[in-house]
Amino acid sequence: MDVRHVRHDLFPEIEPFASGLLAVDSHHTIYWEQSGNPRGIPVIFLHGGPGAGAAPAHRRFFDPHAYRVVIFDQRGCGRSHPHGEVRDNSTQHLVEDMETLRDHLGIKRWMLFGGSWGSTLALAYGIRHPRRCTGLVLRGIFLGGRSEIDWFLYGMRTFFPEAWRHFAESIPVAEHGDLLTAYHRRLLDADPAVHLPAAHTWSRYETVCSSLIQRADDPLAGSHDEAALALARIEAHYFVNNAFLADDEILHGVSTLRHLVPGTIVQGRYDMVCPIVTADRLAHAWPEARYVIVADAGHSAMEPGIRAALVRATEAMKVRLA
């Protein structure tokens, strides 16, 4: 690729050319959309969380003239329904939803693009269906390990003590030894007076810790109750169940991708939500993947250095897959 013409920021805003709702079982229905070029390179965007949902900005990581961009809201969040539902909501269910959606859209193979929890889901799908994948672009690596979950619950206070203090002090001191169980119980409570304060506190904690440079305004100003609840409830559900993965399951399984599927790993050096040690472990297990460390970034995909690296990755994949 000619470095003189390498793009360094997001593509212009676009609207979907198709969208719909797809029933994936007797009670879950997922929202999906397609944008860009209907005859372009198929790519599926996998949002984070789990439970965060997709946003219009996510279409902008891809050249709309080259890519057929598929985005969907995973079970229980975004425009999928029932909202906040954790029943039959697991990593394995989401992998099969992707296969159902791929078949529904008539796509034989596609590229996977996912960050944070989206990187977990992309790898879980790729390991199970490597011949359905043309490439993987991953960001802010999370592999679902117990140590990663414990870091989120307790380790981030090393760098964000004031944010963690608010997170912990919302729970009685007697329950501080197991914050996950305490939050999980409250988030599943049917009473909004119980689950909504817990949801907003959990969501704020994660958001505040996601960027290297903090915004001057309130990062969650105007956030909706439904969005906060879906993120916190589904995330806690997955954490309680160790992301429905055996310890190091993905690291052991990534050998199925080696020499078969090209990959790029983009990681912020100062990512406090998903520390770089996990990305380093993945890069060591998958040495054929391109490993890009962004020196001046944290976790968020929208930090300038991260989004520039991600766009460069999709542009490189565009050339490779054309």
Residues 65 and 198 in one domain: no
Number of residues that this document lists for the chain: 322
Domain that holds residue 177: 147-243
Q: Indicate which residue of 90, 170, 299, 300 is catalytic.
A: 299
Residues 215 and 253 in one domain: no
Domain count, the chain: 2
Active site residue 116: yes
pLDDT for position 216: 56
Residues 33 and 175 in one domain: no
Active site residue 271: yes
pLDDT for position 2: 45
Question: Could you give the dihedral angle defined by the CA atoms of residues 276, 215, 308 and 4, in that order, rounded to the nearest 10 degrees?
Answer: -130
CATH number, domain with residue 256: 3.40.50.1820
What whole-number distance in Å separates Cα of residue 127 and Cα of residue 124?
5
Task: Name the domain boundary from 223, 243, 263.
Answer: 243
Residues 198 and 114 in one domain: no
67 phi and psi angles, rounded to 5 deg: -110, 145
Residues 110 and 138 in one domain: yes
Helix (H, G, I), strand (E, B) or coil at 12: coil
pLDDT for position 217: 52
What whole-number distance in Å separates Cα of residue 19 and Cα of residue 36?
12
pLDDT for position 215: 63
Task: Name the domain boundary from 212, 243, 274.
Answer: 243
Q: What is the pLDDT of residues 262-299, one digit of tens each?
A: 999 999 999 999 999 999 999 999 999 999 999 999 99
Residues 132 and 266 in one domain: yes
Q: Indicate which residue of 116, 119, 211, 300 is catalytic.
A: 116
**Block means of pLDDT (10 residues each) for the chain, length 322 residues?**
64 98 97 98 98 97 98 98 97 98 98 98 98 98 97 97 96 97 98 97 95 64 80 98 96 96 98 98 98 97 96 97 92
Q: What is the pLDDT of residues 82-130, one digit of tens each?
A: 999 999 999 999 999 999 999 999 999 999 999 999 999 999 999 999 9
Residues 118 and 267 in one domain: yes
156 exposure class (CB count in 10 Å sphere: 0-12, 13-18, 19+): buried
Q: Indicate which residue of 47, 80, 237, 271 is catalytic.
A: 271
Kindly state the tokens that stand for 43.
Answer: 């790519």
CB count, 10 Å around CB of 246? Answer: 12
Taking a C-beta distance cutoff of 8 angstroms, is the pair 89, 73 a contact? Answer: no
